[in-house]
């Protein structure tokens, strides 16, 4: 089986990156793996190969508007050089998916679409005009998919009525590496780092609009009014960082909110936290939530991603409606005051071997 993947993850060209390491493992699943990566010429990427069967091709477009035509040009080159492709897999049902549709037709191949984002959430379309266009595009492209891989049951339900009845939908979450056992030393060090807090809440995400971190800050303003030694540690970086810091100052939360910046690993934070918080408007999966539970940390989260599927309200966490500040304040207060008791156990996760076998099977679904 020969696979051609359409991706926008430039870390594929970064030696030692996690995505590059995963790709090397995917190469063992197929005869040939060709990957066209959306990238601008200014990044200076070049074609690469990992013998014997993995090949990377950057689009090297002048602007992002050139990604799709350059991907098609690259595919035509491969076709002229005698490359045979059985399945074209696109990493999203938007721009990559559109390129994938054209390229699948060039090779006479099957189309496999991956859906990592809950684009059917009303909050996704509200976020921007581009997202509204993406929703329409995804609806169209899913009608042409021979197989679909989604990362959660929530997304499967949302796209089930869009695809053709014969199209197989596979739920295959993002692979989560096993979390090391509780490290007393790292937990104690972090508690020592923030001695001003009696209760430690951790958030970890890209600091971007869809994560709705301002909602968390609004809730914290209410919580600390009654419980002033409650602290929020925000791990991550992104375009909203300066705006969030201004809100912290506006809400007089400088003593209660700490920005840690981007960190290589979350294990010490999850082990040390008393609760993990996620306030996103939408999520495809929510890997950080799974990592928190695997470390034994209860979760307070909006009803997105794996809420209800992995995080069960009242059992290993609390789930609140998206964007509901009052409900979020009540949930955080219950956790801070010990008004709810959780039984947090590591979720059942596939081994790497099981995950890779399922990944290969999802490609084969397109060839039925």
pLDDT digits (tens, 9 = 90+) for 36-48: 999 999 999 999 9
Please name which of 193, 213, 184, 172 lies closest in space to residue 295, comparing C-alpha atoms.
184
Q: For the chain, how long is the longest CA-to-CA vector?
A: 69
Mean pLDDT of the chain: 91
- 195 contacts: CB under 8 Å, gap ≥ 6: none
Asked if residue 93 and residue 12 are part of one domain, the reply reads yes
342 domain-assigned: no
Asked if residue 218 and residue 78 are part of one domain, the reply reads no
* Number of domains observed in the structure of the chain: 2
pLDDT given at position 107:
97
Pick the more confident residue, 86 or 341. Answer: 86
Asked if residue 232 and residue 107 are part of one domain, the reply reads no
pLDDT at 190 over 70: no
pLDDT at 203 over 80: yes
Q: What is the mean pLDDT of residues 192-204?
A: 88
pLDDT given at position 102:
97
Please write the tens of the pLDDT for every residue from 55-79: 999 999 999 999 999 999 999 999 9
For residue 189, name the pLDDT band (cuts at 50, 70, 90).
low
pLDDT at 257 over 80: yes
Q: What is the mean pLDDT of residues 180-203?
A: 74
Within its chain, how far is the Cα of 193 from the centroid? 29
343 domain-assigned: no
Asked if residue 6 and residue 121 are part of one domain, the reply reads yes
C-alpha–C-alpha distance, residues 78 and 107, integer Å: 9
Asked if residue 209 and residue 253 are part of one domain, the reply reads yes
Asked if residue 128 and residue 188 are part of one domain, the reply reads no
pLDDT at 180 over 70: no
Q: What are phi and psi of 204, to 5 degrees?
A: -145, 115
Task: Give the predicted TM-score (pTM) of the model.
Answer: 0.89
Asked if residue 208 and residue 102 are part of one domain, the reply reads no
359 domain-assigned: yes
pLDDT at 339 over 90: no
Please list, residue by residue across 107-116, b when 16 or more beta carbons sit within 10 angstroms of its beta carbon and e when fewer do: bebbbbbbbb
Q: What is the mean pLDDT of residues 176-192?
A: 63
Asked if residue 115 and residue 29 are part of one domain, the reply reads yes
Please write the tens of the pLDDT for every residue from 209-234: 999 999 999 999 999 999 999 999 99
325 domain-assigned: yes
For residue 131, name the pLDDT band (cuts at 50, 70, 90).
very high
pLDDT at 185 over 70: no
Asked if residue 208 and residue 125 are part of one domain, the reply reads no
207 domain-assigned: yes
**CATH number of the domain within which 25 lies:** 3.40.50.2000
Asked if residue 358 and residue 219 are part of one domain, the reply reads no
345 domain-assigned: no
Token readout for 366 is 């397109």
Asked if residue 155 and residue 242 are part of one domain, the reply reads no
328 domain-assigned: yes
Token readout for 190 is 């972090």
141 domain-assigned: yes
**What percent of the chain has a predicted confidence (pLDDT) above 90?**
74
Q: What is the mean pLDDT of residues 91-115?
A: 97
Q: Which domain holds residue 97?
A: 2-175+351-365
pLDDT at 183 over 60: no
Asked if residue 40 and residue 171 are part of one domain, the reply reads yes
pLDDT at 268 over 90: no
pLDDT given at position 187:
56
């Amino acid at each position: 089986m020969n696979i051609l993947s359409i991706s926008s993850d430039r870390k594929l060209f970064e030696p030692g990156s996690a995505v590059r390491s995963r790709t090397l493992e995917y190469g063992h699943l197929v005869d040939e793996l060709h990957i066209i990566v959306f990238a601008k010429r200014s990044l200076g990427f070049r074609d690469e190969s990992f013998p014997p069967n993995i090949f990377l091709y950057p689009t090297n477009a002048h602007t992002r508007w050139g990604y799709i035509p350059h991907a098609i040009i690259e595919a035509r080159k491969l076709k002229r050089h005698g490359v045979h492709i059985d399945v074209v897999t696109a990493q999203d049902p938007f721009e990559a998916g559109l390129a994938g549709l054209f390229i699948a037709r060039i090779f006479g191949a099957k189309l496999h679409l991956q859906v990592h984002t809950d684009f059917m959430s009303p909050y996704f379309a509200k976020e921007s005009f581009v997202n509204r266009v993406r929703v329409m595009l995804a609806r169209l492209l899913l009608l042409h998919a021979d197989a679909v891989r989604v990362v959660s049951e929530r997304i499967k339900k949302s796209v089930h009525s869009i695809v053709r009845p014969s199209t197989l939908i596979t739920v295959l979450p993002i692979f989560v590496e096993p979390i090391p056992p509780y490290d007393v030393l790292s937990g104690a060090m972090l508690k020592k780092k923030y001695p001003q807090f009696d209760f430690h809440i951790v958030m970890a995400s890209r600091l971007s609009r869809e994560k709705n971190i301002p909602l968390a800050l609004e809730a914290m303003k209410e919580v600390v009014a009654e419980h002033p030694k409650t602290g929020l540690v925000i791990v991550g970086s992104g375009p909203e960082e300066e705006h969030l810091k201004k809100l912290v100052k506006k809400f007089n939360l400088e003593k209660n909110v700490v920005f840690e910046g981007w960190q290589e690993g979350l294990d010490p934070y999850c082990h040390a936290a008393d609760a993990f918080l996620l306030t996103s408007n939408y999520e495809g999966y929510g890997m950080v939530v799974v990592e928190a539970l695997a470390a034994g940390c209860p979760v307070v989260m909006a009803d997105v991603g794996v809420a209800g599927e992995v995080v069960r309200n009242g059992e290993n966490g609390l789930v609140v409606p998206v964007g509901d500040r009052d409900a979020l304040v009540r949930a955080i207060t219950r956790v801070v005051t010990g008004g709810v008791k959780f039984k947090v156990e590591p979720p059942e996760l596939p081994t790497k071997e099981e995950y890779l076998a399922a990944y290969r099977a999802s490609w084969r679904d397109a060839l039925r």
